[in-house]
Amino acid sequence: MLPITGSHGHAHREASRRSLSVALVLTFSYLIAELIGGLVANSLALLADAGHLLTDTAAIGLALLAMWIAGRPASIQRTFGFQRTEILAALLNALSLWLIAAWVFFEASQRFGDTPDVQGAVTLGVGAGGLIVNLTVAWVLHRSAGESLNVEGAFVHVLGDLMGSAAVVMSGILIITLGLNVADPIFGIIIGVLILATSARLLWKVVHVLMEGTPAHLDLHRLCQRMEQLEGVTGVHDIHAWSITTGYEALSAHVTAEASALGNPGPVLRQLRHIASSEFGIAHVTIQLEDSLTGCLENHHIEHPDAPAENGGPLG
């Protein structure tokens, strides 16, 4: 049976789509003003922030496109549909941030040798405007970012640009009050470092999903213990848990059981699936009952510490 995303996931996707659409309008509207301001003021910090804002716009557009593609139905060729597209979009967003940081570092190194005059008033004014816009966009995306790596990719872009706008404002203040034009490339480098820092966590989470690592919130030890608490269940092995996309986890496991349970497997299977789906939030669950480990080609048993069972006995 092909996986079907529930109404809860559909509601999250619609909310994420609305948040991204509002954010796209706001970032694109201010992009032009910040680019013009950077050219007029001859400010690297402002141009770097404008470049980051350009990637924000592209990142949000990419996230919306990925969300549309991910919503396409599953097929016999792609049994999970295109849901992994959102993870790939998050990966592209993270890598694009690193490219922007590399450009900022290179340009800053060139300016240290020959620091140009920078118009502090324009830098300060445009930077302050960017700070307000980015605060608004970050507020719009914040809730949905916790429910989707795709949206989080766009949110991290905006968060980096928010810190970048703050650095531009500081640069403008120093240029106006102290005449320190060198503050411009210095804060350009600070923006680049902030970009790398904010994208590193996102990149790690994306790679973890693509490597089919165990979802961070899922305690497999506890899951095995809960399954082994059921009457008639003797062990859990060959267990795999991974994320198809954010909020859509899958699980497969082999469960050994006593002859009494194997004679009437329906109730045991329903309880096992209920534990995985209701208690641990796993959307796609596949359980195979066996009488022993004999004949099983894999034995990926998760070694878990003994814990007191609900009936008072120890778990193995």
The CATH number covering residue 299 comes to: 3.30.70.1350
Domain of residue 293 covers 213-316
Q: What is the mean pLDDT of the chain?
A: 76
Assess contact for 225 and 304: CB atoms under 8 A: yes
As a whole number of angstroms, the distance between CA 251 and CA 242 comes to 7
pTM to 2 decimal places = 0.66
Average pLDDT over residues 233-242: 89
pLDDT, tens digit (0-9, with 9 covering 90-100), for 135-156: 888 888 877 766 666 677 778 7
pLDDT of 28 over the 50 cut? yes
What per-residue confidence (pLDDT) applies to 94? 80
232 inside domain: yes
Region 158-185: what's the mean pLDDT?
77
Rounded to the nearest 10 degrees, what angle do helices 183-210 and 149-178 cross at? 170
In sequence order, what DSSP letters do the residues of 8-66 get, joined into one string? HHHHHHHHHHHHHHHHHHHHHHHHHHHHHHHHHHT-HHHHHHHHHHHHHHHHHHHHHHH
174 and 261 share a domain?
no
Please identify, among 210, 226, 253, the residue that sits at the C-terminal boundary of a domain: 210
Are 179 and 246 members of one domain? no
Tell me: the pLDDT tens digits for 88-107? 887 887 888 788 788 778 87
Question: How far is it, in rounded angstroms, from Cα 20 to Cα 18?
Answer: 5
Domain boundary among 210, 230, 263: 210
**Number of C-beta neighbours around residue 308 at 10 A:** 10
What single letter denotes the amino acid at residue 144?
Answer: S
Question: pLDDT band for position 7 (50/70/90)?
Answer: very low
Among the listed ranges 70-79, 144-153, 215-224, 293-302, which one has the minimum average pLDDT value? Answer: 293-302
Based on the domain organization, do 91 and 71 belong to the same domain? yes
> How far, in Å, CA of 263 to CA of 257, rounded?
10
Residue 250 banded pLDDT, cuts 50, 70, 90: very high
